Amino acid sequence: MLRRVALLSVRRRRLILVAAVLGFAVAGGLGGGVAEHLSSGGFDDPSSESSRAEDVLEDRFGAGTPNVVLLVTADDGSVDDPGVAAAGRQLTQELSQEPGVVQAGSYWTLGSAPPLRSRDGDRALVVARIEGSQDDISDRAEELKERFVGPIDGATVEMGGFAAVFNEIGTTIEEDLVRAELIALPLTLILLLLVFRSVVAATLPLAIGALSVVATFLVLRVLAGFTEVSVFALNLTTAMGLGLAIDYSLFVVSRFREELAAGHPPHEAVIRTVRTAGRTVAFSALTVAASLCALLVFPLTFLRSFAYAGVAVAALAGLCAVVVLPAVLAVLGHRVDALALPRRRTVRPTGAGVWHRVATAVMRRPVPIATVVIIVLLLLGSPFLRLELGRPDDRVLPASADSRRVSDLLRSEFDSQEAGALSVVAAASASAGTGTELDGAVDAYAARLSELPGVDRVDARTGVYLDGSRLPVDAALTERFAGRAGTWLSVVPTVEPNSGEGERLVDRIRDLPAPFPVEVTGMSAQLTDGKASLFARIPVAIAIIAVVTFALLFLMFGSVVVPLKALVLNLLSLTATFGAMVWVFQDGNLASALDFSPTGTLDATTPILMFCVAFGLSMDYEVFLLSRIKEEHDLGRDNVSSVAMGLERTGRIVTAAAGLIAVVFLAFATSRVTFIKLFGVGLTLAVLMDAFLIRGTLVPAFMRLAGDANWWAPRWLRRIHDRAGLSEVVDLDGPTPGDGPVGDATAGGPGNGDRDSDPEGERAPAAVS
């Protein structure tokens, strides 16, 4: 297969380049505005109890959890002053008349309810709910902020609540993404110049990255026409598109220059490159895509969208690196080194490289070195044992953010969590009777709910309840809890919704006997159900990654030892990475240096996403290294020499690729949103640890200990590999396969393409520095 691809890239190089340019233009035109068609929601399991209850609450009662909080602060005095009270009532009235806004109420319109007034009496709340999809809520929050935030008679209004927080998170991420790209691209270009020492060669990975990213935007645009796709997938598209394109292009271009330095004509060098490095890149793209496919088992649109983006960008980066890039190299030939930077040219003898010496030193003492490294990795991973998962809230924003400031004031100056209210939905309450009989059942149930630990008050159709007692309120204030079929209750907590205490409160509510079937929703319930949904599917995702990766590595190398070793070492590396992330982001170490607010939890979806991405990237480097070791082994070298030569040939490339992709991820770590910062820092650590520590020590140590058993497989599996294996015997010193000369006149070029690639004729290859 790759032989035909290689010949195609040479013979049809101009056609391929024209198609690539046209494809880039079309993809940019059609996919450039993809963000407008993507969703900002998708964080909940649609089949969970909380999601079902939320749907019933909206469909039958036109109600839901309040997502808008207006914080009114008296300029001088108390919120009970007549002028401030009149302004507060007017504010509530105007908010209730806004399109799409329901359930508007305030301290002044709800009978001066104490939970809606700060302890000092200088602040009070107006709460409401914006209806519609998550995108509608986010857009409407921005409009309401412009409409209501600012001074009123005798007071100042600020806006918080989930709608404002989510809108500010999205806006901040968009700004941070632009800044990350502005940081990553010039730094990456500078590093590529230092690696390749040539302006032309350095621009090739960025060109392939741009083509892969823009093409993936088009794929996401098409998918958005059939299913919900999260806008946050664009972050992964940019990071992975640049990262993988750099990895693959670096490997291909380096091999091409190596073949030129060995004295092969440019077009022959392209063919040899595709049949070796191209094969490795193709398998690497498959393993990365396979790792990200595991995200499809999760019901959350947020995670599934990363699978769409990740699989597409991995496949497109691999395709561009194997088809488009070789066509570019076929046109450039020796001009790939054009616009070279000044350098001292030296030729290093085989076996004299740094990585050769590292591999040799490790293989002389494999047991003690492997033992020390494993102990270090396990110590780094030990904090992972106390992992606590949560959901993003206002604290992922910087303390200076407007909605974050409001939320902090709600925590510190108010006794209840109005924005974190839980809703207990009884869609079939008729089972407890109707009229007076139903009111009696609701009254008793609401009183018991209000006595639960962590509950501030309960609002129901029969009144307001505190500590088991019903308070006298205007009946007009409780009409919203009555429906044509069923009823619902609002449980306002005293505990932080996004916390273990919030989860335990949900469990207590669900365990409390009710006179009719109930379902619970709200922030804490969504946290509880979301974690249960994720935990139930994590084993399936891990199994998919393990089985698919094992199968691909077996089909490539014909060994069962190599895939098992790769899986174990990758898990060991990722455990250390996650342990470090718990120590930093959950425990709050380095919080000041990294500028974030620790909450004692990690966002539940981020470790899952990081695992799939980091596992794929780790396998990326594993395939690069093992393919070269296997190539050396197939040439007749013994086990030790094969490992040392494989590491020497790929060590510099892998470490350069890791450094370059680390720059991309570190640029994302500059984000002001904590979970994006976690994603960037975590993947940077995972990539660097894998490229330097795992590939530099544990891989040669384990391969030295396994010896010739590295390539062992049971006889029955060997027969399967012989028939279905994806590897091919590459006789690079034999004649080029094909139906005629590579530079056949029918292909539009002279024999071997020498004149086409080098107008002055075949030049001596540049020395390798």
CA dist., res. 283 & res. 279, Å (int): 6
Q: Which one, of 628, 609, 576, 84, lies nearest residue 298 by Cα? A: 609
Tokens of 760: 């002055």
Scan for tokens 């929703």, then name that residue: 521
Tokens of 666: 């570190």
Residues 318-322: what's their mean pLDDT?
Answer: 91
Residues 27-37: what's their mean pLDDT?
Answer: 86
Is 110 or 546 the better-scoring residue by pLDDT?
Answer: 546
| Sheet of 519-521, strands arranged across | 469-471, 463-466, 455-460, 487-493, 422-426, 519-521
Percent of the chain with pLDDT over 90: 36
Residues 675-701: what's their mean pLDDT?
Answer: 90
pTM for the model:
0.84
pLDDT in tens, 598-609: 999 999 899 999
Confidence of residue 1 (pLDDT cuts 50, 70, 90): low
**pLDDT exceeds 60 at position 750:** no
DSSP string, 129-151: EE-S-HHHHHHHHHHHHHHH-EE
Give start and end residues of each alpha helix (H) in 225-300. 233-261, 266-273, 279-293
Longest CA span, the chain: 99
Q: Are strands 68-74 and 101-106 parallel, antiparallel or unpaired?
A: unpaired
For residue 173, CA distances in Å to 36, 396, 423, 663, 664 come to 15, 11, 30, 18, 16
CA dist., res. 637 & res. 263, Å (int): 23
Scan for tokens 């030990």, then name that residue: 382
Q: Which one, of 661, 633, 730, lies nearest residue 273 by Cα? A: 730
CB contact at 8 A, 243 and 234: no
**pLDDT exceeds 90 at position 194:** no
The radius of gyration of the chain from alpha carbons, rounded to an integer in Å, stands at 31
Q: Which of 434-448, 459-473, 590-604 has the highest mean pLDDT?
A: 590-604
Which pLDDT score, from 0 to 100, does residue 44 have? 86
CB contact at 8 A, 281 and 252: yes
**pLDDT exceeds 80 at position 408:** yes
Which pLDDT score, from 0 to 100, does residue 741 have? 41
Which pLDDT score, from 0 to 100, does residue 736 have? 45
Is 9 or 537 the better-scoring residue by pLDDT?
Answer: 537
**pLDDT exceeds 60 at position 82:** yes
